[in-house]
A and B are shown apart, each in its own frame.
Chain A
Amino acid sequence: MSAVLKMSFKVLAVGISLFLAGCSGEQLSDEEKQLIGQFRLSELQPLPADPTNKYADQSGPAAFGATLFFEQRLSRDGNVACSTCHISDRQFQDDRPFGKGVGETKRRTMPLAGVAYSPWFFWDGRRDSLWAQALGPLEDQNEHAGTRTAYAQLIAREFKDRYENIFGPLPDLSAVPASAGPFGAEAERAAWMAMSDDQRAAVDLVFANMGKAIAAFERTLVHKPTRFDRFADALAAGRQPEKDAALSEDEILGLRLFVGKARCSTCHTGPRFTDDHFHNTGVPQADGKPLDLGRETAVAQVLADPFNCAGRFRDGDESACGELRFMVKEGPELKRAFKTPSLRGAASRPPYMHAGQFKSLVEVVEHYAAAPQSPDGHSELVRLKLSEREKTALVAFLKTLAQ
């Protein structure tokens, strides 16, 4: 190598190291510090009330909800509880690409910390309250696979006192079929249709109350502060981050990219790192599953749900139903749009995306950098020019949200 070439490489190396030094914590601008401060868990607003569930913040219903959450008899085969897929010591998720109950679902089990903050539930928002959400898997043939009357009968048989202490007298279920519901097997659906309106309404009320108790429990599940929060809290207080709060050069570079050039914080925003909205980010179709159109399909489902905010099982008045009333019902951006998940704890719960399409955060970052076309609809992503070091730094930063 000629001396000239060596000299120019040296200059380049010095220039690059100067640039990288500019990306270290020493050089965070006031604007960046202010921006980063918005993501701290200490900035999280108190959990909004849910006036549609008058039991939402009561400890008795929450305790009963916890019992129901871990109750395996709330299933067709007696082996599936909410906690089967929402595993309590695994961030209330199951580390699988698809949930596994009585059968296999078509999507990834979502973690539950902070779940009650969202206005919409499931990956596609096909339910508009946490208590209505809790009812969906109970009747899904791949999840708990049970029926509405079977659940009401179980409550009357096993939990009569606890139920009645909270919700008042159970209805007379003696003439109600042992297993009937709108999503069961053919005979179960027929039995449901053969019931009187009053019988169906009585069973629906017990079912809705089960959801309200489970929701009261789930509202207590919260995020814990991580290394990122300790770093950002120190930054906001004008202190030098110490011990594990001192992020490495790579982690800080990743954080700067996250809120800057890599544009992650466009959707992964605020203390929960989510905008609670639905986006098509061009993720591939899940292997062996039918084409999933996400939000586009969910709009009709939430409108048809008898337990939605417009339905008769809502507590309070309709002023709480703004999200449903002003829901976007059509448009190209609904196609294959899925909810932005929180990134808190994400680094320790692969696989990623709504059907576990990516096995690692490295694959996730590669996807966002490459910005491929969507299998259907239009991806919102724009291709990013990220160096290998920058990709590594982004992953390093994401890990600070799980430590």
Chain B
Amino acid sequence: MKKRIAAAGAAIVVVLVIAAFAAMRMMAPPDDLDLARSKTSENGLYVVTLAPEAEPVQRSKLHVWIATVQRPDGSPVEDAAIAIDGGMPQHGHGLPTAPQAGGYLGDGRYRIEGLRFNMSGWWELKLTIGSAAGKDAVVFNVVL
């Protein structure tokens, strides 16, 4: 009887310890996060590649990213209007800045200006793309 209660006590402690460590790790990005930098948009209208102009991406500094927009057949999209949104899904807040698509660089490449990440962790960047081919969106994950 004594042993059984002692064992139960020990089991409770083990559970508490595991829960405490799990809570500490709670805000780590999901292990299976898709970090691909090239993706097909949600409705399949575009293949979009998103990459920072300079690596590594430094926290708390404004930086430029390049979005390359192609049709699934590989042809560049020359007339895309791109809107950028995003945030930190685990913290429930948006981007600290309001980035904009800047100049068109040719070959379906567009400058995305004014991005800044003020925290380490998992960020989502959502690009909404409109062109003669239609409107579609794609979400990229970035971990800092």
Known: A275-B119, A277-B118. A328 touches B95 (CB 8 A): yes
Give the docked Cα–Cα distance between A32 and B129 (Å): 40
Q: In chain B, residues 113-129, which have Cβ atoms closer than 8 Å to a Cβ of chain A?
A: 113-114, 116, 118-121
The answer to whether A277 touches B5 (Cβ under 8 A) is: no
What number of B residues sit within 8 Å (CB to CB) of A?
A: 37
Residues of chain A contacted by B92 (CB below 8 angstroms): 380
The answer to whether B119 touches A326 (Cβ under 8 A) is: no
Residues of chain B contacted by A12 (CB below 8 angstroms): 9, 12-13
The answer to whether B10 touches A326 (Cβ under 8 A) is: no
Question: Closest CB-CB distance, A17 to chain B, in whole Å?
Answer: 10
CB-contact partner of A325 in B59, B94, B114, under 8 A: B114
Residues of chain A contacted by B96 (CB below 8 angstroms): 275, 277, 328
The answer to whether A266 touches B119 (Cβ under 8 A) is: yes
The answer to whether A11 touches B114 (Cβ under 8 A) is: no
Binds A, one of B14-22, B33-41, B67-75, B103-111: B14-22
Residues of chain B contacted by A22 (CB below 8 angstroms): 17
Residues of chain B contacted by A329 (CB below 8 angstroms): 98
CB-contact partner of B24 in A5, A260, A276, under 8 A: A260
Known: A11-B10, A15-B17, A266-B119. A380 touches B98 (CB 8 A): no
Which residue of the partner chain B has the closest CB to A12? B9
Which residue of the partner chain B has the closest CB to A257? B24
Give the docked Cα–Cα distance between A266 and B120 (Å): 8
Contact with B along A1-35 (1 / 0, CB 8 A): 00111011101100110110010000000000000
The answer to whether B93 touches A333 (Cβ under 8 A) is: yes
Question: Closest CB-CB distance, A68 to chain B, in whole Å?
Answer: 29
Residues of chain B contacted by A19 (CB below 8 angstroms): 13, 16-17, 20
Whether, in the assembled complex, B27 has its beta carbon less than 8 Å from a beta carbon of chain A, the answer is yes
The answer to whether B60 touches A275 (Cβ under 8 A) is: yes
The answer to whether A3 touches B62 (Cβ under 8 A) is: no
Give the docked Cα–Cα distance between A19 and B24 (Å): 14
Question: Closest CB-CB distance, A51 to chain B, in whole Å?
Answer: 13
Whether, in the assembled complex, A269 has its beta carbon less than 8 Å from a beta carbon of chain B, the answer is yes
Question: Closest CB-CB distance, A331 to chain B, in whole Å?
Answer: 6
CB-contact partner of B6 in A7, A18, A263, A325, under 8 A: A7
Q: In chain B, residues 48-83, which have Cβ atoms closer than 8 Å to a Cβ of chain A?
A: 59-60, 62
Give the docked Cα–Cα distance between A385 and B19 (Å): 11
Most buried by A among B17, B24, B98, B118: B118
The answer to whether A261 touches B24 (Cβ under 8 A) is: yes
Whether, in the assembled complex, A175 has its beta carbon less than 8 Å from a beta carbon of chain B, the answer is no
The answer to whether B5 touches A8 (Cβ under 8 A) is: yes
What number of A residues sit within 8 Å (CB to CB) of B?
A: 36
Give the docked Cα–Cα distance between A4 and B9 (Å): 11
The answer to whether B27 touches A11 (Cβ under 8 A) is: no
Whether, in the assembled complex, A323 has its beta carbon less than 8 Å from a beta carbon of chain B, the answer is yes
Residues of chain B contacted by A277 (CB below 8 angstroms): 96, 118-119
Question: Closest CB-CB distance, B92 to chain A, in whole Å?
Answer: 7
Which residue of the partner chain A has the closest CB to B64? A322
Give the docked Cα–Cα distance between A279 and B92 (Å): 11
Known: A19-B20, A322-B62. A331 touches B94 (CB 8 A): yes
Give the docked Cα–Cα distance between A3 and B95 (Å): 59
The answer to whether A267 touches B113 (Cβ under 8 A) is: no
Whether, in the assembled complex, B1 has its beta carbon less than 8 Å from a beta carbon of chain A, the answer is yes
Q: In chain A, residues 319-365, which have Cβ atoms closer than 8 Å to a Cβ of chain B?
A: 322-323, 325-329, 331, 333
Whether, in the assembled complex, A294 has its beta carbon less than 8 Å from a beta carbon of chain B, the answer is no
The answer to whether A4 touches B17 (Cβ under 8 A) is: no
The answer to whether B93 touches A7 (Cβ under 8 A) is: no
Known: A19-B17, A380-B92. A266 touches B27 (CB 8 A): yes
Give the docked Cα–Cα distance between A116 and B17 (Å): 43
Which residue of the partner chain A has the closest CB to B100? A326
Give the docked Cα–Cα distance between A159 and B91 (Å): 51
Give the docked Cα–Cα distance between A19 and B10 (Å): 12
Extra pairs beyond A15-B13, A266-B27, A269-B120 (15, CB < 8 Å):
A3-B2, A8-B6, A11-B13, A15-B9, A19-B17, A260-B23, A261-B20, A263-B27, A266-B91, A269-B119, A275-B119, A322-B62, A325-B114, A326-B62, A326-B98
List the 5 shortest-distance A-B pairs measured between CB atoms, nearest first: A326-B114, A15-B13, A260-B24, A275-B118, A8-B9
Jot down 16 A-B pairs with beta carbons below 8 A, ordered by A: A7-B2, A8-B5, A11-B10, A12-B12, A15-B13, A261-B24, A266-B119, A269-B59, A269-B119, A270-B59, A275-B118, A323-B62, A323-B97, A325-B114, A326-B113, A331-B94
**Interface residue ranges, B against A (CB under 8 Å):** 1-2, 5-6, 8-10, 12-14, 16-17, 20, 23-24, 26-27, 59-60, 62, 91-100, 113-114, 116, 118-121
